[in-house]
Amino acid sequence: MFDNELLRAFVFVAEERGFTSAADRLHLTQSAVSAQIKRLEAQTGCPLFTRSTRAVSLTPQGEILLEYAHSILGLHEEVRSRLGSATRPAGVVRIGVSEGFLRGWLADLFRQLKLRYPGIELSLQIGLTPMLLEMLEEAHIDLVLAITCAPADRGEVLWTDRLVWAIAESERVDRSRPVPMCFFPEPCPYRAAAVAALKSVRAKWRLSCVSPSAAAARAAVLLGFGITPLLHSELSPGLRDVGDELGLPSLPTAEFCAWNQAQTRSVAVQQVFEAVRSSARRGLARPPSSERPLEQ
C-alpha cells in the first residue's frame, strides 16, 4: 500500500510540473520532496517523472499512477470526513471574480467545494480586476480570481491567453478613417492594454460602443459596431482576428491570476484557494488554446 504523504507529494509535483512549486505548496524543502518521490519510485519499482531544464513531466507509468493517486487521496479524505475525524473548515469565504473566469469549470468547482466542505459558505462578488483588487486590499473579500494584462503584483499566474483584435467575419474597416472600437467602461485591463497599444503607434481610433459586459461587447462587434480586444480562446464563430490585416499593434498577454488576502487567510480560505489552484494546474480551467506558465 502506498503512503498517502508520498502520493500527495507526487500529485503536487505532477500538477506543478516542478519540484520547487510543489515544495512551496507542501511547505517542505525541495530536497525533502525529491526524497519523497524517490521513495515512491522505489515502492512502485519504476520512474515516475522525466526531467528537463524547464520542467518535469510524467512517464507513462506516472500517468497511470496519477489517475489512481487522485482516487486514493479522494477516498481517504471522504472516509476521514464521514468518520468525523477530519477537521472540517467552516466560515464565509468571500470571492471576487472577473467575468473572464465565469466559466463552467468554476461552477463545477464550487459545487464540489460545497459537497466536500458543507461548513464553508461561498460569497461571490463579480467585477473588474482593479475594483476587486482594491476590495481585497481593504479586506472586503478574501480571494480574487481575475485577469490582468500587467505583471500580477503578489498574484499567482494560473494560465495565460493572448489578446487579439476581434471583428465580425463579414465586416471590413476603412483604415483611412479612425478605427471604431468597442470597449468596457474604465477601469478595464483589456481597454487599458488596447488604448496603450494604439497610442504607441499613434493609431487613430474612435469609441463606437461602451459595453457593460464581455457578452455585450461581443454582441456589439457581431452587429458590426467595430473591433474589441478579446482573448484568442474566445474567438467564437462569426469573429476573426483582424490585427494583421489592419496593421494594428500587438496586444499583451492576458494573465489569469489568483490573489488571496493574507490577513484573513483562514483555513476555509486556504482550502478554497488550494482547490482553485489545483483545478487550474490540472488544466480543468484553461481553454485549449491558452497556456500554462512553465516553472522557471
The DSSP line for 36-58 is HHHHHHHHHTS--EEE-SS-EEE
| Residue 25 CB neighbours (<10 A) | 18
> So what CATH class is 90-296?
alpha beta
β-pairing, 239-241 vs 156-168, is antiparallel
Look at the block and give the residue holding cell 480562446.
233
**Average pLDDT of the chain to the nearest whole number:** 82
How far apart CA 82 and CA 71 sit, in angstroms, is 16
Question: Which pLDDT belongs to residue 295?
Answer: 43
Q: Which of 95, 161, 99, 93 is closest to 127 using CA atoms?
A: 99
Q: What is the pLDDT confidence band of residue 195, given thresholds at 50, 70 and 90?
A: very high
For 11-51, the pLDDT digits (tens) are: 888 888 888 888 877 777 888 888 889 999 998 999 999 98
pLDDT over threshold 60, residue 294: no
Taking the C-alpha atoms of residue 24 and residue 37, their distance in angstroms, rounded to an integer, is 15
Q: Give the position of cell 480551467.
A: 285
What angle separates helix 19-26 from helix 4-16, to the nearest 10 degrees? Answer: 130
Entry pTM: 0.62
Rg (CA), the chain: 22
**Close Cβ partners of 180 (under 8 Å, ≥ 6 residues apart):** 173, 205, 206, 208, 209, 225, 226, 227
- CA trace torsion 159, 37, 83, 264 (10° rounding): -40
| SS3 state of residue 265 | coil
Read off the pLDDT of residues 144-173 as tens digits, 9 standing for 90 and up.
Answer: 999 888 766 677 888 888 899 999 998 888
Decide if pLDDT at 4 tops 60: yes
Pick the CATH number of 4-83 from 2.30.40.10, 3.40.50.2300, 3.40.50.720, 1.10.10.10: 1.10.10.10
From CA 32, how far away is CA 60, in angstroms rounded? 24
C-alpha–C-alpha distance, residues 160 and 152, integer Å: 12
Domain boundaries defined on the chain: 4-83, 90-296
The Cα–Cα gap between 155 and 114 comes to 25
